[in-house]
Structures are given as structure tokens and as C-alpha cells.
Amino acid sequence: MVGNLNEQKFNDDLMIESRDQELARQGFPRLAPILIFPDLTSMFCCFEKDANKSKRACRSIGMIAVSLGGLALLGAAAAPLIERLEGPLPEVIGITLAILGVAGVCVGTFGIFFARSKSEWLCARLMTERLRQFHFQTLAFRVPSVLAAMRGGEDLEEYVHRRKEWLAKFELNYRGHLFGGLNQVLDDESEERFAIHTTENYSPPSQADSDLQTIFEAYRLFRYEHQIGYASVKLGEESTSQPRRQKSLLNAVSWISILVVFVLHLLAALSMRPGWLEFVKNAWVHVIVLWAAITALAARAFEEGLQPAREVARYSGYRAAMIALERSFDQAQTPAEKLQLMKITERVIYQEMRGFLTTNHEARFVL
């Protein structure tokens, strides 16, 4: 079964699913035991689940805050029409709108539960990305151990044992300290904390042997190609979760609202001549003008919270950087040059993670 051809897979670089593991064994038979790391993927899935859950909470609270405020303002703008209703309806509607407005202000201003959900989401996302970096930095920083493990036998058993030790030390450093770790990453302007592993002593040969070439091929696929593809997906316009689509939609809403206000004001000016456009003097026209202005304001609020323009710029820059690094990697003449580029790539990936965390830490809500 081919499956959904339009479905974009994420996290398959970590070989979480059995099908991905099977492909790794077929494509990189000697490197597959290094690429497949069940302990790491199990930990990754736990934090990925927490991250998605917290993000949904962030999304819901952000939407509620803006929607409540928008509804209250739209209702207030419709006061001339509401006052024409008979019975207790005007009073009931007025009280309801007041409650909506107060609730929106409380959720948006204080947002205690939202702030906690966002912090939990960013901490969980930090852990998932650092786990991914832990996994692939092994190929760049621990080349001698990886090459020995590729020979199999006792060397592979030793590598698996040592890898468990590395992961345990990593977990001791992060688990239970994620809030502090998040602040450290956000404050890491020099970006010197990108390296998780220490570099093992290794003198690369002048030409790559078959095992070293396999490491380079795997790194190129799972780091350059996957990351370029990830950035390209984020720069698409297939869904409202993508920043470029968000930017386009919000700009369209703002311009349409401004156009409505302009046209109705123009018609109002023309209606000042006796006998011209008398319908413009009706109360509902003035309500539409206010609604359009409020809609533009709401679109601006969403844009301020989501920061889609900044996200587009970040993903565009990241994709361009990864494409340039991949080109340099392909053109490198010696293994030493390729290994150095792999370390540079890991720093760039860390920079992208910092940009992601910083943008969403500053955003009022996320979608």
C-alpha cells in the first residue's frame, strides 16, 4: 500500500516506525544499528506527545482570548441595531457582551494557564529537538566509535553500552531541569551550547573508506535533505498552520476590511448630495463600517501573536543555509572537510531551534 501521497512524514529520520527501521537496514546495513536507537526514540515519543498536547492547549486559549474580545467589540458596534429589539433582549445581549469582553481581557491579559501550557510546550519541544541533535551529533563528534561499531561483534556491543551511558548523562542534565534549560538556550547568544557530545580524537584519512562514506551518505540524507524538506513544508501554503499561509490570509482579511471601510466612507460622502444613495444613511451601514474596522484589528492581533512574517523569514533563511551547507558538503574534497561541515551544520540546526523557541516564547499565542 502506497498510502496518502500528499501526507508529509515527520520524525522518520529517527526510525521510530518499523517500516523506517526496515528501510534503514536495507539502505545502510552496517550503519543501521547506530541509526536505530530504541531508548532514544521511546523518550522522544513521550516528550513529543507532551509537546503536542501543550500546543493544543496554547492554541485553544489563544483562540478563545481573541475570539471573546472580537465578539464583544462586534456586539458593541451593533448597539444601534440591538437597541431596536423589543423586550428584554437588548439588556440580555448587553450583559452577555460585557461578560464576553471581561472574559476575553482576563484570558488574554493574565493567561496563567496559557503561560504554563506554552512553557510546557516549549520545554517539551526543546527536549525533542535536543534528543534529535544528540542522535545525529554522534555521527559528527564520535566518528571512531561509530566506525568501530560498524564492524559489528564486540565493538558494536561496546558502542551500544556506551551509547546508553551517553544518553543517561544527557537525561540527567535535562530531565527535571527543562525550564532552566530553556532559559539557558534562550540566553545562549553565543550559541556555544550547541555541542552535546565531546569530539573523539580522530585523524581522518585523505580519502573516505566505504564505512566513512556510508556515514557521510546517511548524514546527508537525514540532516540536509530532511531539514531542507522540513523547511520547505513550513514555507508551503497547504494549511493554516504554515506561517506563509497565515501571513497571506491575515493580509487578505486586513486589506478587505480596509477596502470595505474605504468604499462605505466614499458612499457616505456621496450620499451627502440630496437624493443620492439614501440607503447609506441606514444604521446597519455604520455598523458594517465598525465591524470591518474591528475585523482588521482582530487580524492585526492574530498577526502580532503568530508573527508569521518572522517565521517565514526564519524558515527561508534556514532552508537557504542548509542548501548552501549541503552544496559545500558535496563539494568537499576530503573527509576532514566533510566532518568539519557536519559540526558547522549542527550549530546551524541549533541556531534554528533557538530561533523557533525565541519566536514562540515571545508570541502571545500559537497556532
pLDDT at 160 over 80: yes
Q: Give the whole-number percent of the chain exceeding pLDDT 90.
A: 46
Q: Is the pLDDT of residue 84 over 80?
A: no
CB distance 325 to 203 below 8 Å: no
Helices (H), the chain: 18-27, 32-35, 38-77, 79-82, 89-109, 112-141, 143-150, 153-174, 178-186, 210-219, 226-234, 243-270, 283-306, 308-331, 335-362
Q: What is the pLDDT of residue 234?
A: 85
Rounded CA separation 70/298 (Å): 7
Q: Which segment of 95-104, 178-187, 206-215, 220-229 scores lowest on mean pLDDT?
A: 95-104
Q: Report helix, strand or coil for 147.
A: helix
User: Which residues, 6 or more positions from 117, have their beta carbon under 8 angstroms from its beta carbon?
Assistant: 54, 57, 58, 61
> Does 27 score more than 90 pLDDT?
yes
Q: Is the pLDDT of residue 5 over 60?
A: no
Q: What is the mean pLDDT of residues 275-279?
A: 67
Confidence grade of residue 243 (pLDDT, cut at 50, 70, 90)? confident
Highest mean pLDDT pick, 89-103, 124-138, 178-192: 124-138
- Assigned C-alpha cell, 354: 533557538
Q: Please compute the mean of the pLDDT values over residues 339-365 and round it to a whole number.
A: 89
Whether 12 shows a pLDDT value over 70: the answer reads yes
Confidence of residue 7 (pLDDT cuts 50, 70, 90): low
- The average pLDDT across 70-78 equals 81
**Confidence category of residue 273, pLDDT binned at 50, 70, 90:** low
70 confidence band (pLDDT: 50, 70, 90): confident
Residue range 22-29: mean pLDDT, rounded: 95
Average pLDDT, the chain: 86
Q: For the stretch 309-337, what's the b/e string if a residue is b when 16 or more beta carbons lie within 10 angstroms of its beta carbon?
A: ebbbebbeebbebbeebbeebeebeebee
Q: What pLDDT band is residue 64 in, cutting at 50, 70 and 90?
A: confident
In this prediction, residues 337-366 reach a mean pLDDT of: 88
- State residue 366's pLDDT score: 59
Task: Please state the rounded mean pLDDT for residues 297-304.
Answer: 78
Average pLDDT over residues 195-223: 94
Query: Is residue 57 classed exposed, middle or buried when 0-12, 13-18 and 19+ CB atoms within 10 A define those classes?
Result: middle
Q: pLDDT tens-digit profile of 100-147?
A: 777 777 776 665 556 677 888 999 999 999 999 999 999 999 999 999
Residue 136 in 3-state DSSP? helix
Look at residue 164 and tell me whether its pLDDT is greater than 90. yes
pLDDT, mean of residues 31-55: 94
Q: Which of 106-115, 227-236, 289-298, 338-347 is predicted least confidently?
A: 106-115
pLDDT of 67 > 70? The answer is: yes
